[in-house]
Amino acid sequence: MLFLGKRSTTGQGIGLSQLPAMQDSELSWGEVSYRPSGEVTPETEVEITTGRRGCGNPQCASSWTAPWRSRKRPIFEGQWGCGGRCVLEMVRTSMRRESSDGILDAPTQHRHRVPLGLLMHSQGWLTHPQLQKALEIQKERGGRIGEILVAECGVDSDLITRGLGMQWSRPVLSAGGFSPRLMALVAPRPFLAQSGLLPLRVAGSSILYVGFEDRLDASSVLALERMSGLKVESGVVKTGEYEEAKAALLENAAVDLKEEILGDVDAVAARVTAVLEQKQPVASKLVRFHRHYWLRLWLEAKAGGGQGVLPVHAEDVFDYVFTAGRLA
Ligand SMILES: [Zn+2]
């Protein structure tokens, strides 16, 4: 089929030969191999997570080797902060990085794309009268052209999905191998709801496949890539399959979430710092999507938290979604 097989879904041929073969349901712990929490002392946790023991704030004025500086947490984005002021500096640096990433603000939906109906007509998948009729109905009562073509013009829904894949230059993905329990842990519900992104499966331990129904949200793909440390491949999923998988996902528990609305990005930075100081995570990460900042905390080493890690259960992982009133 036209859009399948562009890339192997097994993860072969991408330099993973050194890794043991893994099933989709098995998740990588990155460089950190799983060990029962009893074996992990605070000492090893820091070394595992950061690889070094200096304060993560380059401007840090204090000497972290001083004996009274015995704290080993919080760890934010692989770095240890020696005190609240240094953690705040690290958080601000991270938020500047998230803001300067221009593509996050690119309104993908405004980028020029060939209208779906025209594209399908040019492929010979629609007759001119079919297209005409669908456009008239859409003008009259609105709605999505693809749905109208299926409902009113006798067009096969598989063709709509192929057309959408072509429109977005993305493969058509199936929901095969979908584990609703694991995929429900991938990202917080507001992130999924706003982006329309549906996590589908992890393949070869390093690729996360995600599906969209009719519109691809590039910024959410990038945000998820940074949060998970996995390569995120996106595609279009047939409407029926998408709806079914999404419903199954929503029936499963997500990571505990707290949502907060704050005045501006400075307030977000201060709040993120306060949360890190309070929760003392062994790992944490911050990404931005649209107007929101998603902070994920790993509270115990056994919950994972290195690069390329998705939670396998909701315990010891915590999500925050902060919305900044102003993004200045
Ligand atoms: Zn410091």
Answer yes or no: do 163 and 222 share one domain.
Answer: no
How remote is the CA of residue 64 from the centroid of ligand 1, in Å? 7
How remote is the CA of residue 81 from the centroid of ligand 1, in Å? 6
Answer yes or no: do 103 and 118 share one domain.
Answer: no
Highest mean pLDDT pick, 37-51, 199-213, 295-309: 199-213
Read off the pLDDT of each residue in 18-41 and give the average, rounded to a whole number: 35
Domain residues for the domain of 193 are: 20-110+178-328
Answer yes or no: do 325 and 207 share one domain.
Answer: yes
Query: How many residues in the chain?
Result: 328
Share of the chain above pLDDT 90, in %: 58
Given a cut of 70, whether residue 321 has pLDDT beyond it is yes
Given a cut of 90, whether residue 72 has pLDDT beyond it is no
How remote is the CA of residue 83 from the centroid of ligand 1, in Å? 6
How remote is the CA of residue 49 from the centroid of ligand 1, in Å? 17
Answer yes or no: do 231 and 98 share one domain.
Answer: yes
pLDDT tens, 135-155? 999 999 999 999 999 999 999
Task: Give the chain's mean pLDDT.
Answer: 80
Residue 13 in domain: no
How remote is the CA of residue 73 from the centroid of ligand 1, in Å? 12
Given a cut of 60, whether residue 100 has pLDDT beyond it is yes
Instruction: Specify the pLDDT at position 310.
Output: 84
Tell me the C-alpha distance between 6 and 149, whole Å: 28
How remote is the CA of residue 84 from the centroid of ligand 1, in Å? 8
How remote is the CA of residue 152 from the centroid of ligand 1, in Å? 64
How remote is the CA of residue 246 from the centroid of ligand 1, in Å? 43
How remote is the CA of residue 276 from the centroid of ligand 1, in Å? 14
Alpha carbon separation from 106 to 28, 201, 223, 265, 303 (Å, rounded):
32, 27, 13, 19, 34
Instruction: Specify the pLDDT at position 112.
Output: 72
Tell me the C-alpha distance between 276 and 82, whole Å: 12
Answer yes or no: do 189 and 78 share one domain.
Answer: yes
Read off the pLDDT of each residue in 87-101 and give the average, rounded to a whole number: 88
Comparing 129 with 305, which gets the higher pLDDT? 129
Answer yes or no: do 313 and 197 share one domain.
Answer: yes
How remote is the CA of residue 82 from the centroid of ligand 1, in Å? 4
Instruction: Specify the pLDDT at position 65.
Output: 54
Read off the pLDDT of each residue in 171-177 and give the average, rounded to a whole number: 92
Tell me the C-alpha distance between 23 and 312, whole Å: 14
How remote is the CA of residue 91 from the centroid of ligand 1, in Å? 13
Answer yes or no: do 72 and 129 share one domain.
Answer: no
Read off the pLDDT of each residue in 266-286 and give the average, rounded to a whole number: 95
Dihedrals φ, ψ of 287, to 5°?
A: -135, 155
How remote is the CA of residue 264 from the centroid of ligand 1, in Å? 25
* End position of a domain, from candidates 167, 191, 208: 167
Read off the pLDDT of each residue in 101-120 and give the average, rounded to a whole number: 68
Instruction: Specify the pLDDT at position 115.
Output: 92
In the chain, how many domains are there?
A: 2
Residue 58 in domain: yes
Given a cut of 90, whether residue 287 has pLDDT beyond it is yes
**Taking Cα atoms as reference points, which of 123, 167, 124, 127 lies closest to residue 144?**
167
Comparing 101 with 45, which gets the higher pLDDT? 101
Residue 46 in domain: yes
How remote is the CA of residue 46 from the centroid of ligand 1, in Å? 15
**Taking Cα atoms as reference points, which of 37, 81, 77 lies closest to residue 57?**
81
Instruction: Identify whether the C-beta of residue 84 lies closer than 8 Å to the C-beta of residue 271.
Output: no
Residue 173 in domain: no
Instruction: Identify whether the C-beta of residue 92 lies closer than 8 Å to the C-beta of residue 62.
Output: no
Instruction: Specify the pLDDT at position 113.
Output: 83
Which pTM does this prediction carry? 0.76
How remote is the CA of residue 128 from the centroid of ligand 1, in Å? 67
Instruction: Specify the pLDDT at position 312.
Output: 84
pLDDT tens, 1-27? 444 333 433 333 333 333 333 333 333
Answer yes or no: do 183 and 271 share one domain.
Answer: yes
Answer yes or no: do 52 and 134 share one domain.
Answer: no
Answer yes or no: do 135 and 246 share one domain.
Answer: no
How remote is the CA of residue 229 from the centroid of ligand 1, in Å? 26
Instruction: Specify the pLDDT at position 8.
Output: 39
Answer yes or no: do 76 and 120 share one domain.
Answer: no
Residue 247 in domain: yes
Answer yes or no: do 157 and 295 share one domain.
Answer: no
Residue 267 in domain: yes
Instruction: Specify the pLDDT at position 300.
Output: 80
